[in-house]
Structure 1
Amino acid sequence: MAEVESTSGRTHLREGKEMHFSLSSVSAAEPENGRRCTHRAKPHCTVRQGRCLSAMSAPEIRRVVTGHDDKGRAVVISDQVSTGPNPFSNLVWTTATSPADNMDDTDGALRGAGVTVAGGTVFRIGRLEPGHRSPMHRTLSIDYGIVLDGRLVLELDGGDRVELKAGDVVVQRGTNHIWANETDESCTVAFILVDAKPVVVDGRELAPTPITLPKPPQA
């Protein structure tokens, strides 16, 4: 197995056709019905004719993190509101290992992470804007997706298509998929990704899609 190391995490490359895409270039047709930016046209947005064409944005959330004091009592060590270090999704927390090490004092949101963390976990929240859809992609992980608000469509390469609404959950088991927002409203989804072994079908490993996370805009 060949691997590519980067400062933003590790991507596994296995046998099979490599497909590269950037989450900052998720496709969107020119809106025709006056859809406008639902996240206040922040600097990273692509706006054309007064309409936001950015596929993803980082929703503002309140994050409460607990830990222990020097006597072993449970305490709150962080309580803050942020959009995370990346403008395209809010990276809430990561762990370097699974099972996690609760003795690790690293702020999980600041750990270098790609879409997944090799051997670890990732928790992020993202908002898919109206009229946008991701490319077909597969990650080397088991993913727990929770629709927090709005509606979106899950499409699989086998032809299945599922419409999801707030409160619905998806367990994505290393499958090739597309996320699509076909509505006039943004959709917010929480994703928990746990590093996983590759899926093997008829002796062939199903290769993950190498993904490039967008970099935050320069100040």
Structure 2
Amino acid sequence: MAVSKDIRRVVTTVDENGKAVVLFDGPNPNTVVRPQRGTVSRLMWVTGETPADIAGPVDRGDARVGIAPPPNGSVFRIIDIPPITAETEALPVDYHASQHGASTPKRHMRPRHPLMHATRSLDYALVLEGEIDMLLDDSEVHLKAGEVVIQQGTNHAWVNRGTEVCRIAFVLIDGQEP
């Protein structure tokens, strides 16, 4: 699968004179293609503390993190989810869930789909383009561009049953056990 169009990222800061300036302007430095699913994940920014460190010239988008945010931190990423394939549907039912380790809430049900997982975080998701189904433990919700999901540590899977890529913006904030 070819990487879909990139996203311009503009990051501002306050310089040594107290003036608002552009720190970075261009494609984000952190794009990961997951070939087993065809998903393209663009990490835009990561914080490792609350309140967040908002000073200095560090590119906090040029970081390596898992799916969940760091302890007491946050993650902002944009993900392109292609239509699901028969190969992905055939993966072990705990495929995605098994990749989360300590970030998985202690209380959750067994996955019912290979892409089902849970993170101990508050997640804001905004569908930017396309359509997608969010699978929950025993239900699902169909979402379209412009619609929002707020998840509170829930078991879920993103399944694109359409014919076009679905682009979703996610902000994950570290949370307590649900």
What is the TM-score normalised by the length of structure 2? 0.75
RMSD (Å) for aligned C-alpha atoms = 1.8
Aligned counterpart, 1:20:
none
Q: Do structure 1's residue 137 and structure 2's residue 102 form an aligned pair? A: no
Give the AA of the match of 1:77: L
Aligned counterpart, 2:98:
none
Q: Deviations over 1:30-74 (max 9, x none)?
A: xxxxxxx4xx3x5xxxxxxxxxxxxxxx75100000001111011
Higher relative contact order (CA 8 A, sep 6+): 1
Give the conservation status (yes or no) of the 8 Å contact 1:59–1:126. Answer: no
Aligned counterpart, 1:152:
132
Closer/same/farther in 2, CA of residues 83 and 104 from structure 1, 3 Å limit: closer
CA distance in 1, matches of 2:175, 2:59: 23
SS across alignment from 2:32: coil
CA distance in 1, matches of 2:115, 2:27: 31
Q: Do structure 1's residue 76 and structure 2's residue 19 form an aligned pair? A: no
Q: CA deviation at 1:102?
A: 1.0
Aligned counterpart, 1:110:
62
Query: Where has structure 1 moved over 3 Å in runs of 4 or more?
Result: none
Identity level (%): 40
Give the conservation status (yes or no) of the 8 Å contact 1:129–1:187. Answer: yes
Q: Do structure 1's residue 164 and structure 2's residue 110 form an aligned pair? A: no
Please list, as runs of the form range in 1=range in 2, the aligned pairs for 1:38-77 lying within 5 A after superposition. Answer: 40=2, 59-77=5-23
Please list, as runs of the form range in 1=range in 2, the aligned pairs for 1:1-219 lying within 5 A after superposition. Answer: 37=1, 40=2, 59-82=5-28, 84-87=30-33, 88-116=40-68, 117-132=70-85, 135-157=115-137, 159-199=138-178
CA distance in 2, matches of 1:83, 1:146: 22
CA distance in 1, matches of 2:115, 2:5: 21
Residue segments in structure 2 that go unaligned for 5+ positions in a row = 34-39, 90-113
Q: CA deviation at 1:151?
A: 0.1
Residue segments in structure 1 that go unaligned for 5+ positions in a row = 1-36, 43-57, 200-219
User: Bigger radius of gyration, 1 or 2?
Assistant: 1
Closer/same/farther in 2, CA of residues 90 and 175 from structure 1, 3 Å limit: same
